[in-house]
Amino acid sequence: MDLSQYAESYYFHDGHGDMSLARQVGYAAELAALGNRAQRPDVRASAAVLTAALEDLAGILDRWFLHTEGTMRQTFQAYARDHGGDAA
């Protein structure tokens, strides 16, 4: 999903299932946080890449659509609510 090129895609919901991006992105952030504390360097490196991508996504969502000016977690919670559910 490229919100920078296709901002209108934000307004298309993935459906009501638990597998939508809006519902699962919070879980991805939790995995990244756990990975950042891992003992294995390769897991920490992967978690750092995931964290950077999630921070970019949260920044775009907040700047263009949600305007929470909150944390990444708060932004993802607002995203889930805006798409009809709660974050995982």
Our measurement of the distance from residue 80's CA atom to the centroid of its chain's CA atoms, rounded to an integer in Å, reads 9
Q: What is the dihedral of CA 13, 47, 87, 15, to 10 degrees?
A: 20
Residue 16 has pLDDT above 90, yes or no: no
Q: Rounded to an integer, what distance in angstroms lies between the CA atom of residue 88 and that of residue 76?
A: 10
User: 31 near 51, Cβ under 8 Å?
Assistant: no
pLDDT of amino acid 5: 63
pLDDT of amino acid 6: 67
Where along the chain do its domains lie? Answer: 18-82
pTM (2 decimals)? 0.84
Question: Binning pLDDT at 50, 70 and 90, where does residue 17 land?
Answer: low
From first CA to last CA, the distance across the chain in angstroms is: 19
pLDDT of amino acid 83: 83
